[in-house]
Amino acid sequence: MNATTARPRVVILGCGFGGIEALRGLSRADVEITIVDRTNHHLFQPLLYQVATAGLTAPAISAPIRHVLRSQMKRGNLTVLQAQVTGIDTAGRQVLLDDGQQLPYDHLIVATGATHSYFGHDAWSAYAPGLKTLADAFTIRSRVIGAFEHAERLADAAARAPWMTFVVIGAGPTGVEMAGTMIEIAHHTLPQEFRRIDSRRTNVILLEGSPRVLGAFVPQLSERARAQLDRLGVDVRTGCMVTGIDADGVDYREGDGGPTRRIASKTVIWAAGVAASPLGRAIAAGTGITLDRAGRVPVEPDLGVAGHPEISVIGDLAAARSYGRGEPRPVPGVSPGAKQMGRAAAANLLRRLAGQPTRPFRYRDYGNLATVGRKAAVVDLPVPGIGAVRFWGFAAWLFWLFAHIYFLIGFRNRLIVMLDWAVAYWTYERSARVVAEPPPTQGEP
């Protein structure tokens, strides 16, 4: 309890999809809330690839946390701190911050999400940036735009080739979205703007270890997505395991025990692996629980940590299950999952404070969407009583577009995105191509 106010102290770590919903669920309660995030903005990650490919500016898909939470701030029980959380002392009930400060809590909600996993090859990160934060998106955008600029300066076609070859590793939604957009930029946005290079000769290669793209979708939609990628001109190579990445390209093995091949490329993007936030390890060390293979924290049905009901873990950091009809099912690492867990963790905390029993978490699946280039997408929607409704192509793209605009935070963001997309749709222009810094030394760590 807070000695001055006698209110329970609730600390929320992370102001992403899960953290912000947890906060909203608690803001009217008689509790003292502190929310901590290392950035000053709430980020809509599903459209991050648009910033990385210069279609949208950063403010279109993000908003200052203090602005987003201004109505909650008026209630007088919320403190927002921008700080990196470095540890959690579960025995002493304190959160440790990067400046050495300690933040005491009575209840803790951890929602620090996930980060990239290079499957034990962390050195690859220098050559193949992943896409998780705005800083990542700026790095990728600068490398992609910088690669064309570099190619224009080279007289020799052979020397240009690696600068005009882009490799995206991982054909989940992010990889597919990146590859589809990059080929469209090369084929439609840039051709009139360069003199020496013909940007239509750009290669975009999408490497995937499993046999199909969009492996989380049903095979029918994977095939549709692949056919659309083929039409756009993306070179899709499935069943290919990456074995090395360096400053000059990518090595991969075809199939199990197949030949090793090399792609000479100066721009490689990593969209293959996700690992839970390192704070999972701090929770495990303090509570004795064992993390799953992705470093996620296994949680109880009510999203609490076993033996520590004062700690809830939600969103991408939680290995949570949904308790509906039938067997409990794993909750996928998607934004609706994080948001629903945020609301559920807040509701359970209120129940606990009221001396009532907590309830098991139940995930409502709203389906899977992925866009493939400028005007095609695949959509898989579970409709109660009907089963799955699946569609693709332009209608699916319109659905994807309005769903993403609807879920963006703030009217201003929705307006900017709609305007930018309308212009881009008719003109192919990518309005966010201005890069303040010269490109980093490409491919160098």
Ligand X SMILES: Cc1cc2nc3c(=O)[nH]c(=O)nc-3n(C[C@H](O)[C@H](O)[C@H](O)COP(=O)(O)OP(=O)(O)OC[C@H]3O[C@@H](n4cnc5c(N)ncnc54)[C@H](O)[C@@H]3O)c2cc1C
151 and 197 Cβ atoms separated by less than 8 Å: yes
Under the binding rule (CB under 6 A), the answer on residue 14 touching ligand X is yes
Cα–Cα dist 307/287, whole Å: 8
User: Which residue's CB is nearer to ligand X, number 34 or number 199?
Assistant: 34
Under the binding rule (CB under 6 A), the answer on residue 15 touching ligand X is yes
- Fill in the per-residue mask, 337 to 376: x = in contact with ligand X (CB under 6 A), - = not in contact: -x--------------------------------------
Cα–Cα dist 164/148, whole Å: 7
User: In angstroms, what is the minimal distance from the CB of 342 to ligand X?
Assistant: 7
Interface size with ligand X, residues (CB under 6 A): 33
Under the binding rule (CB under 6 A), the answer on residue 322 touching ligand X is no
| Tokens of residue 300, six digits | 């109880």
Under the binding rule (CB under 6 A), the answer on residue 174 touching ligand X is yes
Under the binding rule (CB under 6 A), the answer on residue 11 touching ligand X is no
Residue closest to 248 by CA, chosen among 171, 170, 165, 185: 165
Length of the chain in terms of residues written: 445
| Tokens of residue 268, six digits | 């490689």
Cβ burial, residue 204 (10 Å; 0-12/13-18/19+): buried
> Which is catalytic among the residues 21, 177, 184, 208?
177
Q: Does the active-site annotation cover 429?
A: no
Site residues for ligand X, window 257-286 (CB under 6 A)? Answer: 277, 279
User: In angstroms, what is the minimal distance from the CB of 184 to ligand X?
Assistant: 18
User: Which residue's CB is nearer to ligand X, number 9 or number 339?
Assistant: 339
Other Cβ atoms closer than 10 A to 437? 8
Return phi, psi of residue 61, to 5°: -120, 15
For ligand X, the binding residue among 273, 315, 373, 443 (CB under 6 A) is 315
Residue nearest to ligand X (CB): 16
User: In angstroms, what is the minimal distance from the CB of 156 to ligand X?
Assistant: 35
Other Cβ atoms closer than 10 A to 339? 20
Under the binding rule (CB under 6 A), the answer on residue 17 touching ligand X is yes
- Residues 6+ positions from 95 with CB-CB distance below 8 Å: 11, 13, 36, 85, 87, 88, 89, 102, 103, 105, 108
User: Which residue's CB is nearer to ligand X, number 45 or number 199?
Assistant: 45
Under the binding rule (CB under 6 A), the answer on residue 334 touching ligand X is yes
User: Which residue's CB is nearer to ligand X, number 53 or number 199?
Assistant: 53
User: Which residue's CB is nearer to ligand X, number 12 or number 242?
Assistant: 12
DSSP string, 402-438: HHHHHHSSSHHHHHHHHHHHHHHHHH---TT---SSP
Candidates 100-108, 244-252, 335-343, 380-388: pick the segment binding ligand X (CB under 6 A): 335-343
User: Which residue's CB is nearer to ligand X, number 17 or number 148?
Assistant: 17
Under the binding rule (CB under 6 A), the answer on residue 151 touching ligand X is no
Which long-range CB contacts under 8 A does 194-200 form with residues at least 24 apart? 194/148, 194/152, 195/152, 196/151, 196/152, 196/155, 197/148, 197/151, 197/152, 197/160, 197/164, 199/148, 199/164
User: Which residue's CB is nearer to ligand X, number 19 or number 162?
Assistant: 19
Return phi, psi of residue 394, to 5°: -65, -40
- In the chain, how many H helices and how many E strands? 13, 27
Under the binding rule (CB under 6 A), the answer on residue 313 touching ligand X is no
User: In angstroms, what is the minimal distance from the CB of 152 to ligand X?
Assistant: 29
User: In angstroms, what is the minimal distance from the CB of 38 to ligand X?
Assistant: 4
- Fill in the per-residue mask, 89 to 128: x = in contact with ligand X (CB under 6 A), - = not in contact: ----------------------xxx---------------
Cα distances (angstroms) measured from residue 207 to each of 117, 235, 269, 400: 16, 9, 10, 24
Residue closest to 407 by CA, chosen among 46, 27, 37: 46
User: Which residue's CB is nearer to ligand X, number 55 or number 315?
Assistant: 315
Cα–Cα dist 224/393, whole Å: 8
Site residues for ligand X, window 18-57 (CB under 6 A)? Answer: 18-19, 36-39, 45-46, 48-49
For ligand X, the binding residue among 5, 79, 84, 356 (CB under 6 A) is 84
For ligand X, the binding residue among 9, 93, 107, 132 (CB under 6 A) is 132
Candidates 189-197, 217-225, 285-293, 329-337: pick the segment binding ligand X (CB under 6 A): 329-337
Return phi, psi of residue 90, to 5°: -70, -30
- Positions that interact with ligand X (CB under 6 A): 14-19, 36-39, 45-46, 48-49, 84-85, 111-113, 131-132, 173-174, 277, 279, 315-317, 333-336, 338
Report the catalytic residues: 177
